[in-house]
Structure formats: C-alpha cells, structure tokens
Chain A
Amino acid sequence: MTDTKTLPPQNIPAQTHPAKQILMMLWRDKLAFCAAIFILIVIFCALFGAPLLEDVATKQNLRGRNAAPFDFSKDWVFWLGGDALGRPLLARIVVASQNTMMVATGAVAVSLAIGTTLGLIAGYTTRMGSQIIMRLADVIMSFPSLLLAVIVLYMLAPSVGNLIIVLAITRIPVYLRTSRAEVLEIRERMFVQAARVMGASTNRIVFKHILPVVFPTLVTIATLDFAFVMLAESSLSFLGIGIQPPEITWGLMVAQGKAYLTTAWWLSFWPGLAIILTTLSLNLLSNWMRVALDPVQRWRLEIGKKSNG
C-alpha cells in the first residue's frame, strides 16, 4: 500500500509518565511556565499567607501613613509602601489573596460548572427544554447584575459564601450561551454522527465527543471572567455589601486607595497589579492548555523536545 509508506512505521511514542510529559510541555512555553509559577505563588499566599502575616497586616501605624514604596531601610513588609492607616501593603496583599482567590475561584468554578451543564443540556435536548433554559438565561442577562447583587446581598448577610453565589448566578449565562452555541455546531459534525451510528448513548456523545471540543473555549472564557469577577467583587465591597473590613480583598484595596490616587498612587496600584498579573497568568496558562489539549496543535509544544533532547 503506497499511502501507508508516507509515515515511518516505527514511531510509537515512548510512554513517558503523563505528569512528566505535562511538565515538559509547560517548559516548552516559557511564558506559560512563568505564569504557572506566579499562580503557584498566589495559591501559596492564599493558603498560608493569612495565618502567617495576619498580625502584621492589621497592625496600624499612624506615623507610617501612606508610606512611600521602595524604602528598603524599613522592614521588608513595607517595601511596597503603607496604606492610609500605615499598614504594610505587601503583607496586606498577601493576606487579601485568600479572600480574593476564594471569591473569584468559587464564583468562576460554580458558574462554569452550572453554565456548561445547562448549555450542554440546552444544546442536546428537545426544542422545548432548550427554550426553557435559554429564556431563564435571558432573564438573568436582562437583569443588571449589580442590581441583582445589591438586592440579594441586602437580604442575605454579606459573606464570602453569599458573594460567590451572587457572582456565580450573574455569570452563568456567559458559559451557558457559549456552550450551547458550540454544541449546536458540533452535534452536526460527522464524528458525532459516526458515534450515533455505532449506537453511542447520549451521555457518551455529550461527554466523550462534544465536551472535549467545547472545553478549551470555556476555560479561556473562565480565565477572562476571573478578572471580571474580582472587579465585580470590589465594586460590591465598595458599596459596602461585599467583603466587610477588616476583611480585605484586592478589589477592596483598590477601592480604598481610590481617594489617595493623586497623592499616594501605590495604594491602588499594587493590588491592581496583583489582579492584572493573576488574570494575565491565567490567560497564558489557558492559552497553553488549549494547545496542549489539542492533538493537532500539540506538536508546537513537543517540537522543542527533540532539538533540546
């Protein structure tokens, strides 16, 4: 058979450990690698930062009000300056990472999970079921998200848990609509038809054939949404119905620093930078993941392996 000769017959990929393979692929994409390290640092801060630096971060020092950054003669926690009550910014950012991450991760994960599930159902069921789900999404979309949040948090106590619920509900339609639209397109593809001809169940088609194709798109949206949720949380905190001081989040820190923008830019700048870097890192990682998950594109991450190894 002439056409089988176009590929060398002996090329069974050496079965390296999957974890090692993933690390190798991450190493190929240097930007994604840096991003992964940054995310790990953030996660570490979120897990262990609060108990370690809690006391330092809440200790007021009125003589060090709005202390300027880069004063290396001071204690290291003051290197990024101090806030309006003289509390060290660096320590506060580290401590705030816990609440910030909890709210953002929680809200994004919940809305991603619910939105995707509903989207898959809406895309693959009868017209009637799809209509009901989509109209529900329209209801949520047509309601200003901030207004919804204000009403709900006014009735419920403003806590991290409630904040997550409110933010998640307002973001569900984004995932729902995207996944439904993609499902509607993918379900008509030939390989789905082929699976149906083989007798594959609906579950199998949805989870094995459709979801893996939709997933990278949704993850990309989720990482973008991460920033949105952090900022939405800060505006709620600013209105006084989000996280309540003395609890802190990055968004709240940005909001608190707003009054001093002209005199002490660092109050808002450093937490803002933390938000930007986190979202940027997540974006780079999701971009890397999209390539790594796609067998057609994966060679881009594997090609360097040959020349380096």
Chain B
Amino acid sequence: MADHLLEVRNLSVDFHTAQGTVHAVRDVSWHLDRGETLAILGESGSGKSVSASAIMNLIDCPPGEIVSGELLFDGQDLLKMTDDQRRDLNGRRIAMIFQDPLSHLNPVYTVGFQISEIMTAHGSPKDEARARALELMERVGIPNAADKIDSYPHEFSGGQRQRLMIAMALGMKPDILIADEPTTALDVTVQAQILDLLEELQAETQMGLLLITHDLGVVAEVADRVVVMNSGEIVETGTATQVYHNPTHPYTKQLIGAVPGTGEMAEPMDTAIKPILEINKMGKKYGAFTALQDASLTVLPGETVAIVGESGSGKSTLAKTLLRLEDATSGEALYQGRDLVTMDAAELFALRREIQMVFQDPTQSLNPRMSVYDIISEAFVIHPEILPKEKWTARVQELLEQVGLNASHMYRYPHQFSGGQRQRIAIARALALEPKLIVCDEAVSALDVSIQAQVITLLNRLQEELGLSYLFIAHDLPLVRDFAHRVVVMQGGRIVEQGPVAQIFDAPRETYTRNLLAASLHPDPEVQAARRAERQDLQEAV
C-alpha cells in the first residue's frame, strides 16, 4: 500500500539497560503525506524522537531493539532493507536536521565542503555539488553566500548554522525532512525566521516535514497535524487546531493547561515602598567588548522583576555582576542602601545570605558527589550563625517539604531525581540561607512545560509565604507574562524598555520589544496565525 509517503505501523522499540528493559515506544503508528507537516509533540522521555531515529536507522542495536512494527516508505518496509539500501535512502530521500547545529557540523571542514559532501556521497561530481551548495546557501538566506562558502562553522551565528544544516539536508531534494527540535536552541526571533524558512521550502519542494518538538507554539505555527506522545505511547492525534481546542486525552489537556502566556497578568506593585535593590548605570566590559552598559533598574520587596532578552543581550552578565561572580566596571548596585559593587569581602559574605541565585540547569548546579542533605546543609556550614548543628536535619526536612519534596529524599544524590525535582532542590538550597532576593537565571528554561508550570507555582507560593523578591532572567516571554510584576527588556547590553507587565505586553513602545513579542509563539493555532500576519507586517515595515 503506497497510500502515504511514510507510514509507521505498530512500532515498538525497547532499550535494554543495566537497570532493566525500557519500553521507549509502544505500538506507535502515524503517517506523513507529501507536502504535509506532521508534528510529534511530547515532553522529555516521551519517546518522541525514537520513531524518527528508527526511520533514520540511528538506533544502536544493542542496547536498542526494534521489537515489532513496520516503517513503510513509499510502500517499502525500511526494516527489511539492507544497511546499504538504507544508507542510499538516508540523506538522499530522507534527510534530518538536529537541535544543536554546532555539534552536528564538523568544525574542521568548511561549510561548503560539508554541504556538497552529501551530494558527492550520493554520486554527484564535485564541481556540480559545489555549485549546488552555493545555490542552497543563497536559498536558505546566508548573506554573501559566495564569500562565505569557504568559511568554517564557528564563523556563523546559531541561526545561520541551523540554516546551513537545512541547506545540507536539502542537498538531494529529499522527499522527507525530519527536524528534531530544530529551533529549541535558538532565540525567538531567529526561531520564527527558521520556521518561516522551513515552510517556504516545503511549499517549494512539496516534501513531507516531520517536526519533533516539545513546544506547542511551534506546533501551532507550522504543523498541519499533530501526534501527542506521552511515555512511549500516542495519546492523541488530529489537526493542530482540533487538538488545541478540543483535546480529548487528559494528558493533552494537562499539557495545554500548563502552557504559559494565557493567564492573568499581575498588577503592578505600589511604587511608594522603598526598593530592596537599586541598580544605577551598571556597566561591564570584557576588554574592548561592552557586555553591559548603563543598566538601571529597581526591585521592590516582594516583587518579581523579569529581565528578558535574546542571547548576548547582557541579561546573564547583569546577574553575575550583581552577585559579584564578575566585577562590574562601572555603576553601583544598592542593596538596602549598601553598594554591592564596592563592598569588601566581609560585608559581601554577610550579604550572601540575603541574595541567592537559582541557576538554569539543575543538573550542573548541584554537586553530583554530594547528597541532598549535604547540598542543602552546606548553607549552614558556611553560615554557622543560621542554625545550631543539631537542628540541621529537621530544617533540611522542612525545606524539602516546603519545595514539594519529602524527608526520604534527603540521603539521595542529585542524579536520582528528575529535572524538576532537581530544580526544587536548588531552590531549597537557596532558601536555606533565608534570602530576601533570589536571582533566577533561566531557572525553568531547561524544564518541560508542565514541570515549568509547577516550579513557577512553587516560586509564586514561596513569594507569598516568605515575601521574597525575584529577579527573573528569561528568554521565554509567555512565561514572564504570567509570572512577573514588571518586565525589563534588554538588547545588546542595554535596557531598551521597562515597565509593568501589562504595559510591555499590551502596549510596547520600542520596535525591538514589538519584534520580540511578535516572534514569540502562541499555542493556539488561530492566535498564532494572526500573530504571524503581524510579524510579517513588521518585517515589511522594516
């Protein structure tokens, strides 16, 4: 039956690990037609990438094992083909692009060579392949492609690298393009451009696009149909609009409910109270490079101030200089009237208790060789005035319960927890010092949407209970919309706009803010369509 371009039937894949067999996907079936975009949506560990890996013959066997199923491509079962036959199909008729373009481009070859390699590997003459590579680079929108063809991958920006990956994938005019989280590592405005490019290319070549993603916004933007996966099983299939508006499975409902950016916006705080933190014209230079320039903002007690911006906008530099992980080159940061920038070591040590930080990736911010008890109680070791030693266990227990874990987790090690739980541990560690201000540097960016929502709820609850202030650094605008009282928008080391959350989202003044908002994706396909029109208007205006 050659009804569909690609059809996966009853695919089950197991992974045999030392801890037992993991059923990565169970009985999964879906299909993809020419000119269609199918999105496989799921959180980490849902098995969303496994079926694509099976199609590309990327599953290592062992430990993987394809237990059952058929992968029909043009009516032929891929699983019954020889390795040589599949190699011939890979790249030529089925191509794939990955999440992190830097690690999938070889740093020691020029991009021109790498793009034409796909074609020479499938038998094209060298000069023809090179000409086609140049053509492709122009097509995917690399400026001055003729000059850049002999450049190396590190000379391109992240978005350009993803364009190069796409050029590489398109070399042989494939029938199917598999994109595994193609825009997750990119800034929102770049993400929008890449998605636009994929859509255009699809319209041109009528290829089938299989998009693997965790982001409902991406689904709303480009997908025709969507397959929702949860722990190795398909829970729901349908058109993007249908699934968003009428989800039938509880998991899908929960997933859609957890998507940020749809709730009420917070009221601005009363500005008459004395701010807890006042940053005045802070600047940071690395040699001749200015990472941060004239940044001024205030944080009130109990307030959440979000700093948003794309990579390289200086938002993390601001956090680092604030916590004296780096020294500011100019300006001042007054914390309750005392200047953090010029403070001496002893005073700074005392202040460490009051300003804490929660890092982006809890996998890296928790010492893997320390138990949860050691990690949290380290605060008391460093600042012995907080608690006498005999009360440590009880306090650690209390903190764990406060962040939604329990006492039995105390003697385990970080790797035994899920990402969301680890971030809770990191929050408990920060709370152990009884801080007044917590700097969250992309604290939920590495987490799945539903876990993100839980952690945000936790942060909100802690703010109410303990009167904490947050300086919340993020690139995800919808998240900020739900969580922050005030928003600071940064670009190229400068603050371009700041104001109450409602003002920034409903009536942004600066073009940059408007671009940023237009580029962020909304999970509702209909809203997203309107937003896209707005984005195109903005582009035309430029």
Counting CB contacts under 8 A, is A195 at the interface?
Answer: yes
A4-B364 CB under 8 A given contacts A194-B357, A198-B352: no
With beta carbons under 8 angstroms apart, the residue of A10, A191, A201 that contacts B365 is A191
Counting CB contacts under 8 A, is A9 at the interface?
Answer: yes
Nearest CB of chain B from residue A270's CB, rounded to whole Å: 40
Counting CB contacts under 8 A, is A2 at the interface?
Answer: yes
Cβ contacts under 8 Å, B348 to chain A = 199
Tally the A-B contacts, defined by beta carbons under 8 Å.
Answer: 96
Cβ contacts under 8 Å, A138 to chain B = none
Is the pair B369, A294 in contact by a Cβ cutoff of 8 Å? yes
A4-B405 CB under 8 A given contacts A12-B411, A294-B369, A296-B415: yes
A197-B325 CB under 8 A given contacts A2-B450, A300-B18: yes
Counting CB contacts under 8 A, is A52 at the interface?
Answer: no
Is the pair B454, A199 in contact by a Cβ cutoff of 8 Å? no
Is the pair B349, A193 in contact by a Cβ cutoff of 8 Å? no
Is the pair B433, A198 in contact by a Cβ cutoff of 8 Å? yes
Map CB proximity to A onto B400-427 as digits: 1 under 8 Å, 0 otherwise: 0000111011111101111011000010
With beta carbons under 8 angstroms apart, the residue of A2, A10, A293 that contacts B408 is A10
Map CB proximity to A onto B354-376 as digits: 1 under 8 Å, 0 otherwise: 00110111001111110100000
A281 to B405, CA, bound (A): 43
Is the pair B413, A295 in contact by a Cβ cutoff of 8 Å? yes
Cβ contacts under 8 Å, A197 to chain B = 323, 325, 352, 356-357
A191 to B418, CA, bound (A): 17
Q: Which residues in chain B, 185-211, are within 8 Å of chain A measured between CB atoms?
A: none
A191 to B433, CA, bound (A): 16
Counting CB contacts under 8 A, is A209 at the interface?
Answer: yes
Nearest CB of chain A from residue B381's CB, rounded to whole Å: 8
Is the pair A194, B418 in contact by a Cβ cutoff of 8 Å? no
A194 to B430, CA, bound (A): 9
A213 to B368, CA, bound (A): 9
A208 to B450, CA, bound (A): 35
Is the pair B382, A204 in contact by a Cβ cutoff of 8 Å? yes
Cβ contacts under 8 Å, A189 to chain B = 364
Cβ contacts under 8 Å, B19 to chain A = 299, 303
Is the pair A6, B418 in contact by a Cβ cutoff of 8 Å? yes
Counting CB contacts under 8 A, is B378 at the interface?
Answer: yes
Cβ contacts under 8 Å, B450 to chain A = 2
A127 to B420, CA, bound (A): 38
Nearest CB of chain B from residue A171's CB, rounded to whole Å: 27
Q: Which residues in chain A, 260-309, are within 8 Å of chain B measured between CB atoms?
A: 293-296, 299-300, 303
Most B CB within 10 A of own CB, among A2, A3, A300: A3
Q: Which residues in chain A, 170-229, are within 8 Å of chain B measured between CB atoms?
A: 189-191, 193-201, 204, 208-209, 212-213
- Closest A residue to B406 by beta carbon equals A9
With beta carbons under 8 angstroms apart, the residue of A3, A295, A300 that contacts B418 is A3
A contacts with B: majority SS: helix
- Closest B residue to A216 by beta carbon equals B369
Counting CB contacts under 8 A, is A142 at the interface?
Answer: no
Is the pair B365, A193 in contact by a Cβ cutoff of 8 Å? yes
Is the pair B364, A13 in contact by a Cβ cutoff of 8 Å? no
Cβ contacts under 8 Å, B415 to chain A = 295-296
Counting CB contacts under 8 A, is B485 at the interface?
Answer: no
Nearest CB of chain A from residue B301's CB, rounded to whole Å: 20
Counting CB contacts under 8 A, is B59 at the interface?
Answer: no
Counting CB contacts under 8 A, is B383 at the interface?
Answer: yes
A9 to B451, CA, bound (A): 19
Counting CB contacts under 8 A, is B353 at the interface?
Answer: yes
Is the pair B369, A295 in contact by a Cβ cutoff of 8 Å? yes
A6 to B412, CA, bound (A): 14
- Closest B residue to A295 by beta carbon equals B413
A190 to B325, CA, bound (A): 11
A285 to B420, CA, bound (A): 36
Nearest CB of chain A from residue B181's CB, rounded to whole Å: 21
Counting CB contacts under 8 A, is A19 at the interface?
Answer: no
Is the pair A198, B421 in contact by a Cβ cutoff of 8 Å? no
A16 to B516, CA, bound (A): 57
Counting CB contacts under 8 A, is B429 at the interface?
Answer: yes
Counting CB contacts under 8 A, is B5 at the interface?
Answer: no
A200 to B370, CA, bound (A): 15
Nearest CB of chain A from residue B235's CB, rounded to whole Å: 15
A9 to B404, CA, bound (A): 12
Counting CB contacts under 8 A, is A73 at the interface?
Answer: no
A10 to B409, CA, bound (A): 9
Cβ contacts under 8 Å, B325 to chain A = 193, 196-197
Counting CB contacts under 8 A, is B379 at the interface?
Answer: yes
Cβ contacts under 8 Å, A23 to chain B = none
Cβ contacts under 8 Å, B352 to chain A = 197-199
A209-B420 CB under 8 A given contacts A190-B361, A194-B357, A295-B413: no
A194 to B323, CA, bound (A): 10
Nearest CB of chain B from residue A9's CB, rounded to whole Å: 5
Cβ contacts under 8 Å, B369 to chain A = 212-213, 293-295
Q: Which residues in chain A, 1-54, are within 8 Å of chain B measured between CB atoms?
A: 1-4, 6-7, 9-13
With beta carbons under 8 angstroms apart, the residue of B353, B379, B454 that contacts A3 is B454
Nearest CB of chain B from residue A226's CB, rounded to whole Å: 25
Is the pair A198, B378 in contact by a Cβ cutoff of 8 Å? yes
Cβ contacts under 8 Å, A209 to chain B = 367
- Closest A residue to B363 by beta carbon equals A190
- Closest B residue to A195 by beta carbon equals B378
Is the pair B349, A199 in contact by a Cβ cutoff of 8 Å? yes
Map CB proximity to A onto B337-357 as digits: 1 under 8 Å, 0 otherwise: 000000000001100110011
Is the pair A4, B368 in contact by a Cβ cutoff of 8 Å? no
Is the pair B382, A199 in contact by a Cβ cutoff of 8 Å? yes
Cβ contacts under 8 Å, B383 to chain A = 198-199
Is the pair A7, B416 in contact by a Cβ cutoff of 8 Å? yes
Nearest CB of chain A from residue B451's CB, rounded to whole Å: 6
With beta carbons under 8 angstroms apart, the residue of B378, B406, B433 that contacts A4 is B406
A9 to B356, CA, bound (A): 29
Cβ contacts under 8 Å, B378 to chain A = 195, 198, 200, 208
Is the pair B451, A194 in contact by a Cβ cutoff of 8 Å? no
Nearest CB of chain A from residue B73's CB, rounded to whole Å: 36
Cβ contacts under 8 Å, A200 to chain B = 378, 382
A212 to B450, CA, bound (A): 35
- Closest B residue to A3 by beta carbon equals B420
Cβ contacts under 8 Å, B411 to chain A = 12-13
- Closest B residue to A199 by beta carbon equals B352
Q: Which residues in chain A, 43-81, are within 8 Å of chain B measured between CB atoms?
A: none
29 pairs of residues in contact across A and B, judged by CB atoms under 8 Å:
A1-B404, A2-B450, A3-B421, A4-B421, A7-B421, A9-B406, A9-B408, A11-B408, A190-B361, A190-B364, A190-B365, A193-B359, A194-B357, A194-B366, A195-B367, A197-B356, A197-B357, A198-B352, A198-B433, A199-B353, A208-B378, A213-B369, A294-B368, A295-B371, A295-B415, A296-B368, A296-B415, A303-B18, A303-B19
The chain A residues found within 8 Å of chain B, CB to CB, are 1-4, 6-7, 9-13, 189-191, 193-201, 204, 208-209, 212-213, 293-296, 299-300, 303
Given contacts A294-B368, A294-B369, 20 further A-B contacts (CB under 8 A): A3-B421, A4-B404, A7-B409, A7-B417, A9-B408, A191-B364, A191-B365, A191-B366, A194-B357, A194-B359, A194-B365, A197-B323, A197-B325, A199-B348, A200-B378, A201-B382, A204-B382, A295-B415, A296-B413, A303-B19
| 3 closest A-B pairs by CB | A199-B352, A295-B413, A190-B365
